[in-house]
Amino acid sequence: MPLQKVRLEPFDAGLHTQCLRDWLRRPHVLRWWGEYEPPFDDQSWFTRETHAVIVANGDPVGYLCWQRLPQDELAAAGLTDLPKDLVDIDILIGESSHIGRGIGPGALGLLLERLQADPSASMAGVATSISNEHAIRAFEKAGFRLFREFQDPEHGRCRYMVTEVGGVADTGL
């Protein structure tokens, strides 16, 4: 299997909107992301500070977004013990031919490097269903460890996984 050279690019509406629309409809993504549609008409949504396209060997193959989680969302999932400055990451490899080639962990590694330089974030995290063994494996390879399991209102029993990044933990205490 050829080595994949992975990089992150800013989301470009002209180049990437149709790709992302297609990826979100693929069964292997729908299964874990559910019926999700970002606000494609609002280009200010896709800022380079919180969104990126995953490019492998020059081709766009996936998408990453990251954000601080609103307290009401954390409360709904019973995850209020996460640090308040945690950056929550979502990822998909949309091109099914590119699954299982190490691109997800590679892309997460690049994002974590970026977050290492952010003194306002002490921890990064990812959530997925306990049944999504491939994602759990990919997250472990990127350096994430189990924080704990929780009950997601939409996705059922899930795992929250974390890793330290740049800042000093803000526990809100």
Ligand X SMILES: CC(C)(COP(=O)(O)OP(=O)(O)OC[C@H]1O[C@@H](n2cnc3c(N)ncnc32)[C@H](O)[C@@H]1OP(=O)(O)O)[C@@H](O)C(=O)NCCC(=O)NCCS
Kindly list the residues in this chain that would bind ligand X in the complex (CB under 6 A): 28-29, 32-33, 91-93, 99-105, 128, 132, 134-135, 137-138, 141
Q: How far is the CB of 143 from ligand X (least distance, A)?
A: 12
Give the helix/strand (H/E) hosting 159: strand 156-164
Q: Please, are residues 94 and 17 in contact by the beta-carbon 8 Å criterion?
A: no
**Nearest distance in Å: CB 140, ligand X:** 8
Please, which residue, 36 or 171, has the CB nearer to ligand X? 36
Closest to ligand X by CB, 7 vs 141, is: 141
Comparison of 29 and 165: residue with beta carbon closer to ligand X: 29
Q: Which is nearer to ligand X, 23 or 46 (CB)?
A: 23
**Cα Rg for the chain, rounded, in angstroms?**
16
- Give the nearest distance from C-beta 148 to ligand X in angstroms: 17
Q: Minimum Å distance from CB 92 to ligand X?
A: 4
> Are the beta carbons of 102 and 2 closer than 8 angstroms?
no
Paired strand residues for 126: 89, 161
If the CB atoms of residues 150 and 167 are measured against ligand X, the closer one turns out to be: 150
CB of 33 to ligand X, least distance (A): 6
Q: Which two tokens stand for residue 2?
A: 């050829």
CA distance 167 to 99: 32
What is the torsion angle, in degrees rounded to the nearest 10, for the CA atoms of residue 96, residue 161, residue 76 and residue 79?
A: -170
